[in-house]
Amino acid sequence: MAGGCFHPGPGPHEQVGAIDRTLTLVLLDVLEIAVIVVAARLFGKVAQRLGQPALIGEVVAGIALGPSLLGLLPGRPDIRLFPSELTSYLRMLAELGPLLSAFMTARIAIHEIFGAFLFGASMPRQGARHFRRAILDRLGTTNSLVLLPVFFVIAGFNVELRNFTRVDLTSQLLLVLTAAGVGKLGGTFAGARLQRMTVRHSAAIAVLINTCGLTELVVLTVGNEVGIFDTDMFTIMVVVALATTMFCQPALGIIYPDRVIQEDIDAAAAAEPERLPDGPLPQSRGSVHLRARSYSDDSPSAFESSGLSESLGSSDSSESAASPEVAFCSSVSS
């Protein structure tokens, strides 16, 4: 064409190549999701068999599929299986439910997680119990089997343990772990003792407060994405969250064993039977039900804790203004 330039469109071979690449990416995306879900379920079941929340296993699965373990193999299969161009789509899948609200907050320069939170906070409460129950029934299984495992595994991808062969990073990890443990355990124990609770009850609450769960990992992931943490600090914080949560189960079994729980339940039933519900209370360590009453030398102080549950979002605690009952729930993923 005179006086101009002719730009031919893509030829047949280029079009076929683009289609093949798109199909390859789609198939690889499906394979990634399958690998993530299977690994998360497998590691989660192993964690539950060991008395830990499934959250621990799901994050460990992400660490194993990332550069910390899979990346040690020749050829870097972690990069080939989980290329960076598809990881963002997996993260989007993990936030599928409140995606629109997250998109709107991202458009106004606020992180997507706050849009997701607002989406949940805007759900109706009064007069909508059946509506909320229907949503939970339809989305709960998909959320727990697919979306949450994908989110935790993606969080584990960013954990880089290979750098911790360096003495300075190992020292930082031990320092942060010590500060986190001593700060929560000591502060909670002292506060409980000031309220004249027994040593055993104070120690049990301190151990439960020391756990980290879903919220901590969400905050860490957001901080890592916006550049607040570098890879080493993100790894340190994730390891601390996992370690403090894994510490809870065995420590609580030693400090507050089932035998003592039953003794406290019997003592509370004998002291004030009208406060206890009819029928037996579940005694599984995964959902510890405490109904105890502790007395000091000068005046009684009631410590009644119902449903110290380790099930994420599954605790229903009520607090009566006419009684000194204290409801406490430690939420970590089950």
> Mind giving me the DSSP string for 255-321?
HS-HHHHHHHHHHHHHH-GGGSPSSPPP--TTEE---EEEE-SSSEEEE----EE-STT-------T
Q: By the 8 A CB rule, do 96 and 147 touch?
A: yes
Compute the average pLDDT of residues 281-302. Answer: 42
Compute the average pLDDT of residues 327-334. Answer: 36
Give the range among 62-71, 249-258, 260-269 with minimum mean pLDDT.
Answer: 62-71
Strand (E) or helix (H) holding 33:
helix 12-49
C-alpha span between 270 and 151 (Å, rounded): 47
Q: Tell whether the model's pLDDT for residue 206 goes beyond 80.
A: yes
The pLDDT-based confidence of 317 (bands split at 50, 70, 90) is very low
Q: By the 8 A CB rule, do 308 and 208 touch?
A: yes
The pLDDT-based confidence of 247 (bands split at 50, 70, 90) is confident
Side chain identity, residue 187: G
Of 55-64, 190-199, 222-231, 318-327, which one has max mean pLDDT? 190-199
Give the range among 57-66, 236-245, 276-285, 292-301 with minimum mean pLDDT.
Answer: 292-301
Compute the average pLDDT of residues 195-217. Answer: 86
Please state the domain extents for the chain. Answer: 21-121+129-157
The pLDDT-based confidence of 334 (bands split at 50, 70, 90) is very low
| Percentage of the chain lying above the pLDDT 90 cut | 10
Q: End-to-end alpha-carbon separation of the chain, Å?
A: 69
Q: Is the dihedral of CA 159, 163, 165, 167 positive or negative?
A: negative
Compute the average pLDDT of residues 181-192. Answer: 90
Mean pLDDT score of the chain: 69
